[in-house]
Amino acid sequence: MDIKEKALKTIKKYSLLQPGDSILIALSGGPDSVCLSVILDELKDNFNLSLHALYVNHGLRPEESREEEAFCRRFCDELGIKFHFETVKAKEYSETNRLNLQEAARELRYDAFEKTALKTGADRIALGHNADDQAETVVMRLIRGAGRKGLSGIPPVRNLEFEVRSSELKVNKNILIIRPLIDIERSEIEAFLSEKHISYMTDSSNLRKDYSRNRLRQEVIPLLQEYNPSLIATINRTADIMREEDEYLEIIVTKTLMRLISRKTDDDIELFLFPLENMEKPILRRVIRRAVNETRGLRGIDLIHIEDIIKLIKTGRAGDSVALPGKIRAVRKYSTLILTALAPLKLKPRVFDPPGELVLYEDGIVLKAEIAETWSNDYNGKDTSVFDLDRLVLPLEVRMRQKGDYFYPAGFGKKKKLQDFFVDEKVPRDERDSVPIVVSGGNIIWIAGYRMDERYRAKEGTKRFLIIKSFKR
């Protein structure tokens, strides 16, 4: 079976192309993308395809990049493929976003793919990953530590759902990433190009051994091939099996996760804790991965991080948390587990001079105060509190907790540390800095939403009343 037939078999197996598709080819000038372009050009009449190609200059190899761009432009002109190019600043982006250079280049490259796909109306973005890339990815993930999903490797096809940052492109379109060469080995690609006398460019960075991927390709894979000459094909078959089993398990995970979600926003997801505590690890790992992915994506999340969250679920206490890559936190509460990309809320100190309103923008709480000469005893001390105005020093201060805070909880009768009060009230540690503490003359008079201080509440003989209500905007 020649390389074109193998690619066509992969295309049919995974439904990579549909008649009339517009394809954006990621063209670097290297052997894989050049081979991909030639094969898609040869198949374009079969599927009535419209072909575009994009070259991305990452700003890392100025001289080589100019030569590559010129080569890709000539190559596309010869085949009649519409050529596009983008220039990005990978080094600057890596420093600004604290990413390594390869991660930064990848993010900018995919961003360029997405924007160009929208501009050209492309239905698919075709990438030149081959069977060797697949094998290298699986081995790399095995070294780092991965489960069945990670060991399924690079998917032949996946959805690309995105929001383009450019103000000119306010479009939300679902585009497929396809890899028609994923079942073809690098040696076959090079033989195909040699036989057809098709030239290509060589990226010098692929020869450097200071990149772990390159060392794996140049040193580890050849060593393993001494034990199994068919290593690439073997690993690819294993990845296929892993992927099929993973897809089946994902159906189970989807049904499980739907029953677990207590609350969900764009930045966090809250899961009921009791079912998680009693869940078997194989499913629990997958549920956690899916939940993390719902918050900020799984970039940088390894098996060790998933295990840390499982430990938090199984043995942690309320208020314990785990810090994850990408500024994600897993926080155990009393009855739920929260996975969030939001930083813990901390109230800034404010002056509050009743009567009037004070808006606490950090957590959307409003304090509304009024002064009266009469008031009924119909209040709960939580969202509404009534104070003896003549015992207070105005203006009041509203702040977050401080070390050493104490007050005299109404109905309790004696002094109590605020820390102990929060523990007794089961206020999660992650939320304690967002609880408004109302202070008069240096003394706490009210823990808004929880309890007022016995010393300052209105009693028989009070002549002037300060009523403060707390509510969400």
CA atoms within 13 A on the CB side of 269: 18
Q: What is the pLDDT of residue 167?
A: 40
Nearest to 181 by CA among 116, 133, 233: 133
Question: Per the structure block, which two tokens stand in for 273?
Answer: 């804790």
d(Cα 3, Cα 40) in Å, to the nearest integer? 12
Strand partners, 370: 467
The model's confidence at residue 440, banded by pLDDT at 50, 70 and 90, is very high
Average pLDDT over residues 282-303: 78
Q: How far apart are CA 266 and CA 292, in angstroms?
A: 12
pTM of the full structure:
0.66
Residue 205 has pLDDT above 80, yes or no: no
Q: Write down the pLDDT at residue 72.
A: 97
Mean predicted lDDT score pLDDT of the chain: 90
164: helix, coil or strand?
A: coil
Q: What is the pLDDT of residue 161?
A: 58
What are 45-92's pLDDT values in tens digits?
A: 999 999 999 999 998 888 889 999 999 999 999 999 999 999 999 999
Mean pLDDT along residues 6-18:
96
Amino acid at site 284? L
What is the DSSP annotation of 165-233? --TT------EEEE-TTTTS-HHHHHHHHHHTT------GGGG-TTSHHHHIIIIIHHHHHTT-TTHHH
For 350-387, the pLDDT digits (tens) are: 999 999 999 998 888 999 999 999 887 778 889 999 99
300: left (phi over 0), alpha (psi -120 to 50) or beta: left
Question: In this predicted structure, what is the pLDDT of residue 42?
Answer: 96
pLDDT attached to residue 212: 81
More confident residue, 18 or 171: 18
Range with the lowest mean pLDDT among 25-29, 56-60, 72-76, 171-175?
171-175
**Residue 165 pLDDT > 50, yes or no?**
no
Q: Which residues lie closer than 8 Å to 313 by C-beta, 6 or more apart? A: 273, 276, 277, 284, 332, 337
Q: How confident is the model at residue 303 (pLDDT cuts 50, 70, 90)?
A: confident
Terminal CA-CA length for the chain: 67
User: What is the distance between the alpha carbons of residues 114 and 118, in angstroms, rounded to a whole number?
Assistant: 6
Handedness of CA 41, 42, 43, 47 (dihedral sign): positive
Query: What confidence tens digit (pLDDT) does each residue in 82-112 have?
Result: 999 999 999 999 888 888 888 889 999 999 9
Q: Residue 340 has what pLDDT?
A: 86
